[in-house]
Amino acid sequence: MRILSGLQPSGRLHIGNYFGMMEAALKLQHEGEAFYFIADYHSLTSIHDGKLLRSHVRDLAIDFLACGLDPAKCVFFRQSDVPEHTELAWILSTVTPMGLLERCHSYKDKTARGIAASHGLFAYPVLMAADILIYDSDLVPVGRDQKQHVEVTRDIAVKMNEAFGEGLLKIPTPRIREETAVVPGLDGQKMSKSYGNTIELFEEPAKLKKKIMGIPTDSTPVESPKPTEGSSILALYQLVATPADYDSMIADFQRGGIGYGEFKKRLLQAMTEHFAPYRERRAEIVANPSYVDHVLAEGAEKARAVARQTLRRVRDAVGLG
Ligand code: ADP
Ligand code: TRP
């Protein structure tokens, strides 16, 4: 089974990214042949600063490795090291109905948030389809907001197969992890960079403390039971605490007698402990910069060998070259 996923290098990772997509992808590296990449061509739709993009790519590579991506188990690479993706995207775009792209939520959401309405942003799902199809991927673990793009990919693959021969491209399946499909931010809305309500995966300890202790709460008196419904403290705690500790926090909410400050302290401790091993590993990787270059170079070579083969097959089928 071939598994593929990508993340855009668009700033520091937050725990919504981690629990929404990355954790599941990292688990899957032990269950099949995984290809994971840093989607820098995609980030060009929102970042027009070469130095910044390069530094985001590096940060994301370090974060992925720190969180347990094992380059001996999976192929880890930077998208732009495999330019075959863009050629396949062009070929796919010629069978992609405009209506299919016009229905995509992401374009509307992003332009509503102020990202320039470029052709690249509009055509982005076609590039994503190329990313997936060029590796004959079976399974694509993504966050819920990316599911529509995998469905578009399936539609495009079907169109290609209808036009150029059954079996030319493999039809992939999305895998969404429903339990953590929406990680709430500090304010209870979906955690997102654009809402400024994030906890970064490698937040400075002092900043992490400030953010967690500052989570807005209602004015229930200390001695009274606290509402569990819609509590971001509980929702975040569930992600990082053991099931027994989580159950005991629920019981303490319901019983009353403990203030929100105490619950926040427990959350802070669990969050710090959960990510401590990753933090250590991150420091080791940062101290050895050539390791990251080496991993990405090796990944690019392996990815490119597969991508070239698929592209050759497609070029033959459509009549190019
Ligand atoms: P942001 O909303 O912060 O800009 P992205 O859109 O770059 O995040 O998301 C990258 C990946 O992380 C996507 O697969 C997305 O589904 C997942 N993701 C982002 N925020 C969350 C969240 N709050 N809960 C679950 N998954 C998330
Ligand atoms: N569009 C995805 C995101 O914004 C990143 C991405 C690009 C991707 N190509 C992909 C994810 C292929 C899965 C498969 O998060």
Residues 91 and 109 occupy one common structural domain: yes
Is 110 a catalytic site residue?
A: yes
266 lines ligand 2 (CB under 6 A): no
Residues 153 and 247 occupy one common structural domain: no
The DSSP annotation for 122-183 comes to: HHHHHHHHHHHHTTT-SEEE--GGGHHHHHHHHHHHHHHHHHH-TTSSPPPEEE--GGGSS-
Q: What are the pLDDT digits (tens) for 197-229?
A: 999 999 999 999 999 999 999 999 999 999 999
Domain of residue 163, CATH code: 3.40.50.620
Instruction: Tell me what percent of the residues of the chain surpass a pLDDT of 70.
Output: 100
Residues 271 and 310 occupy one common structural domain: no
Identify which ligand lies nearest to the alpha carbon of 200: 1
Which atom of ligand 1 lies at the shortest distance from residue 10's CA? 7
Residues 297 and 256 occupy one common structural domain: no
Q: Is 94 part of any domain?
A: yes
Residues 208 and 88 occupy one common structural domain: no
- Mean pLDDT over residues 128-153, rounded? 95
In this structure, the residue with its CA closest to atom 8 of ligand 2 is 6
Q: Is 189 part of any domain?
A: no
Structural domain harbouring 221: 202-283
Res. 268: pLDDT tops 90 = yes
- Mean pLDDT over residues 301-315, rounded? 98
Residues 255 and 108 occupy one common structural domain: no
Residues 234 and 160 occupy one common structural domain: no
39 lines ligand 1 (CB under 6 A): no
Catalytic site residue from 110, 211, 226, 264: 110
Q: Tell me what pLDDT residue 120 has.
A: 96
Q: Tell me what pLDDT residue 252 has.
A: 96
Of the candidates 286, 294, 283, the one whose C-alpha atom is nearest the C-alpha of residue 71 is: 294
Residue ranges in the chain assigned as alpha helix (H): 15-17, 23-28, 40-43, 50-66, 84-93, 98-102, 105-112, 119-133, 147-164, 205-213, 232-240, 243-255, 260-286, 289-318
Q: Tell me what pLDDT residue 5 has.
A: 96
- 298 Cβ partners below 8 Å, 6+ apart? 71
Contact by Cβ (8 Å): 133, 157: yes
Q: Is 193 part of any domain?
A: no
Mean pLDDT (the chain) is 95
Catalytic site residue from 159, 170, 190, 209: 190
Residues 81 and 219 occupy one common structural domain: no
What six digits make up the tokens of 75? 């192929």
Q: In what order do the strands lie in the sheet with 2-7?
A: 75-78, 33-38, 2-7, 139-141, 173-175
Q: Tell me what pLDDT residue 188 has.
A: 87
Residues 106 and 222 occupy one common structural domain: no
Residues 37 and 98 occupy one common structural domain: yes
Q: Is 196 part of any domain?
A: no
Q: Is 132 part of any domain?
A: yes
Identify which ligand lies nearest to the alpha carbon of 129: 2
Helix (H, G, I), strand (E, B) or coil at 14: strand
In this structure, the residue with its CA closest to atom 11 of ligand 1 is 17
Q: Tell me what pLDDT residue 115 has.
A: 86
Burial class from Cβ neighbours inside 10 Å (0-12, 13-18, 19+) for residue 43 reads: buried
How many domains, the chain? 2
17 lines ligand 1 (CB under 6 A): yes
Question: How many CB atoms neighbour CB 90 within 10 A?
Answer: 12
Q: Is 243 part of any domain?
A: yes
71 lines ligand 1 (CB under 6 A): no
Catalytic site residue from 73, 159, 193, 209: 193
Q: Is 188 part of any domain?
A: no
Q: Is 187 part of any domain?
A: no
Q: What are the pLDDT digits (tens) for 94-126?
A: 999 999 999 999 999 899 988 889 999 999 999
pTM, full prediction: 0.94
Domain of residue 245, CATH code: 1.10.240.10
Is 193 a catalytic site residue?
A: yes
192 lines ligand 1 (CB under 6 A): yes
Residues 140 and 243 occupy one common structural domain: no
110 lines ligand 2 (CB under 6 A): no
Helix (H, G, I), strand (E, B) or coil at 5: strand
- Mean pLDDT over residues 284-305, rounded? 97
In this structure, the residue with its CA closest to atom 14 of ligand 2 is 5
Q: Tell me what pLDDT residue 10 has.
A: 86
